[in-house]
Amino acid sequence: MTHPRAKAAALRAIFEARGAQVVEPPILLSAETLLALYGEDIRGRAYVTTDALRGEQMLRPDFTVPVVQMHMAEGAEPARYTYAGEVFRRQELDPDRANEYLQVGYEVFDRANPAAADAEVFALMADVLAPLGLRAVTGDIGLLMAAVAGLSTSDRRRARLMRHIWRPRRFRSLLDQYAGRAPMPAQVDAESEAPLNGLRSAAEIEARLAALAEDAETPPIPSQEADGIGSLLKVQEKIPFAIEQLRDLSVDMPSIEQAVERLSARTEALRAQGVDVDQLDFEAGYGRTSMEYYDGFVFGFYAPTRADLPPVASGGRYDALTRRLGKGAEIPAVGAVLRPKLMMELEAAS
């Protein structure tokens, strides 16, 4: 019986044969970097340790961050990378989900044609997974980001909504508040003489009060715009029909026009790769519970008869991450990961 590590090595060899450079990112990553990217929420899904010389560190929750750091520091352009190894995720609610598992990945850094790079990564994953008969789902976080950027409201409110795109319930709650459909948080009296408790300084508390006061004075987001966000997130169709619906929505939401055209260009690039886009599912809200670095194309492959299983493969575009880790430099980037052990389980059951 094949060992999962042998399976992982075989998959990595496929990607290497396609021109990818093999890399071995470190297992321990700077906690400072991950906290800056994801905030304190990352502590809930990562294992944290400390080192007298290196400070706080985390066992890698994924490979993308260290691969981007490596590429932005010393990589040539264009570049393709592949890797295989363990990632580590804390599991506090589901004892049946693995907290350590193998991943094999393929990452593309190429500014020449982002649509073609998206299609290349998706088509390669589809080809490798073809014998398993999986269902593919695609989405595009860039559509929702563009819609939020176009809202008629304050910069602060747009930034806050953007920050919570990957927390659907919180996002909906904020949108309802900002549209006047739900009450805003109660105001606190800035002149209160109650004693200070907790870790926030008086200056931080005053800044927070000022932000709440600004919110209270900001006019509500127009109902038509808030409804447009809701209609956008309901788009769930085969890609050609999804594009038609999104173009209709863009008449009243011009801020999404460019994102829709990028989706259209990607669809043609997928078609050129031999993907049957007429049967490919698109969900505008897909990918919103994944790691927060995705900002464009997202996709996943699922076992249709095993709804209990996580995606066998998943990936997407993360251009903004290269900007944040590139110290002034940036490059369009897209990648995907496979779960070799999960693939073996499905192969054995077929």
**What's the rounded mean pLDDT across residues 194-205?**
59
Which amino acid type is present at position 72?
M
Decide if pLDDT at 247 tops 80: yes
Q: What is the torsional sign of CA 283, 288, 289, 294?
A: positive
**Whether residue 109 sits in one domain with residue 13:** yes
* Residue 236 contacts residue 215 (beta carbons within 8 Å): no
Decide if pLDDT at 323 tops 80: yes
- Which pLDDT does position 190 carry in this prediction? 47
pTM value? Answer: 0.89
Domain assignment of residue 290, yes or no: no
- Which pLDDT does position 53 carry in this prediction? 82
- Of 74-83, 89-98, 143-152, 319-328, the range with the highest mean pLDDT is 143-152
Domain that holds residue 98: 1-134+328-350
Domain assignment of residue 87, yes or no: yes
**What's the rounded mean pLDDT across residues 298-315?**
94
Total structural domains within the chain: 2
- Which pLDDT does position 205 carry in this prediction? 61
**What's the rounded mean pLDDT across residues 155-165?**
94
**Whether residue 113 sits in one domain with residue 195:** no
Decide if pLDDT at 241 tops 80: yes
**Whether residue 168 sits in one domain with residue 109:** no
- Which pLDDT does position 96 carry in this prediction? 64
Domain assignment of residue 15, yes or no: yes
Peptide linkage before 78 cis (omega within 30 of 0) = yes
Q: How confident is the model at residue 35 (pLDDT cuts 50, 70, 90)?
A: confident
* Residue 261 contacts residue 219 (beta carbons within 8 Å): no
**Whether residue 103 sits in one domain with residue 14:** yes
